Amino acid sequence: MSFHQDFVWGAATAAYQIEGAAREDGKGPSVWDMCSRIPGFVKDGHTGDIACNHYYRYKEDVQLMKEIGLGAYRLSISWPRVLPEGTGRLNEKGLDFYDRLIDELLNNGITPYVTLFHWDYPQELFKRGGWLNPDSPDWFAEYTKVISDRLSDRVTNWFTQNEPQCYLGLGHSTGTHAPGLKLGHAEFLQATHNSLLAHGKAVQVLRQTSRRPCQIGYAPVGITSYPSDPAPDNIEAARQRTFSITEPHFWMNTWYMDPVLLGRYPEDGLQVFEPWLPEIKSGDMETICQPLDYLGLNIYHGTPTQMGSDHKPEVIPNHDGYPQTLIRWTVSPESLYWGPKFFHERYGLPIVITENGLSSMDWVSLDGKVHDAQRIDFLHRYLREYRRAAADGVPVKGYFCWSFMDNFEWAEGYNERFGLVHVDYRDGKRTIKDSGYWYKSVIESNGDKL
């Protein structure tokens, strides 16, 4: 059994990672523009100033998408490109760019899936407190309305926010991502609550203002534990570990998902975070918990888990060394079976894999091609597990490979290559990798060739 005939095959990127033109045509600075200028913040002093120069080469890039056979493309909007101060004054040149990009995609038979926020928070709003400011949900709602008013006559698929675990946790707790803050638990939880309110208000705005019927999702990291073997106890251990909060840190699922999808914070999280909880005002949870059409999950790897002798989940130790990608994430295809299965069981929504892929050592060979056999093997293994989830009744709607093209990989700079298309950062030349052509054949067969 393969995927349903209406299954969506796509690839994804994010604005700051590919667009470049960081200070051109009226764009305002983002927190990533700010932090990439701090010595040592990004490896090798790299910035997104030019990135892949997609802002000027988008037509060429859309043709490459068409050549690969993508049915859909998940992109993000740069908030400060369209609202340089984050609120108020519109930047028509920025809006015009997204107008042209959406039209180019549609004219080439590629459906746009638009993510409103993929980490490039406006610097001017950061200076006013960012996600700590109680007005931040309304700032995000205003921005959402601008985008809806401009694009919803053509865009019908939306994601509100990408990976809150990262932009809140890495950006506001460990300080390794922009805006580089190391907040205490109380402040971190306040920023998280405001971000969740922003999500809910954005959904409300899209429902109220979209000019066409639309579908809306949310795209957190799907942090997955999977059973070391299919024994019932180990399956239950993996499920428990996927959804439990046992200590006060940010790398978890339910604190970001239960409010959005169930209308409440998880009980174990409330107990763990009790000393630092923000004020939850009347109506907050109703605002956060808006009806969604699908749940996006970014899943790259998982953690093998078994039930311990104390009847608690126990991680299988890495004594022998798991296979790893270049960025040192484990190769664990099982996560694309158990992740969709567990998250659908808990939340009841159809699943879209919004990111999945690997960083590998890719270069243009003497024959002018990029032979990335490891990426093909990786994607093959993961997609077979995703297809197995579909065969077992998990309603899966789509798959977006990360990423369409090599790009600025945040704090790692240009040192990690995730793309189906190779980018030579010296001259910008694009080369479709072997994996891009392999993915094309998978798309053409709707996964039958896996």
Residue stretches of the annotated binding site for substrate = 17, 118, 162, 300, 402, 409-410
Candidates 80, 92, 173; CA nearest to 123 is 80
Burial-class residue 15 by CB neighbours within 10 Å (0-12, 13-18, 19+): buried
Candidates 56, 15, 16; CA nearest to 36 is 16
The active-site residue, picked from 19, 104, 334, 355, is: 355
The verdict on whether 60 is a catalytic residue reads no
Token reading at 371? 């032979």
Quote the CA–CA distance of 356 and 379 in Å, as a whole number: 8
Q: Which residues contact 290 (CB under 8 A, 6 or more apart)?
A: 199, 200, 203, 204, 207, 216, 260
How large is the greatest C-alpha to C-alpha distance in the chain, in angstroms? 64
Quote the CA–CA distance of 241 and 234 in Å, as a whole number: 10
The active-site residue, picked from 163, 334, 385, 416, is: 163
Quote the CA–CA distance of 443 and 140 in Å, as a whole number: 35
Strand (E) or helix (H) holding 390: helix 373-391
Strand (E) or helix (H) holding 69: none
Quote the CA–CA distance of 74 and 157 in Å, as a whole number: 9
Token reading at 142? 């205003």
Burial-class residue 215 by CB neighbours within 10 Å (0-12, 13-18, 19+): middle
Per 3-state DSSP, the chain is made up of helix, strand and coil in percentages (nearest 5) of 40, 15, 45
Q: Which residues pair with 260 in a beta bridge?
A: none
Quote the CA–CA distance of 388 and 1 in Å, as a whole number: 8
Q: Which residues pair with 430 in a beta bridge?
A: 423
The verdict on whether 444 is a catalytic residue reads no
Q: Which residues pair with 324 in a beta bridge?
A: 330
Q: Which residues contact 225 (CB under 8 A, 6 or more apart)?
A: 237, 238, 239, 241, 242, 302, 303, 304, 305, 313, 315, 338
Q: Which residues are catalytic?
A: 163, 355
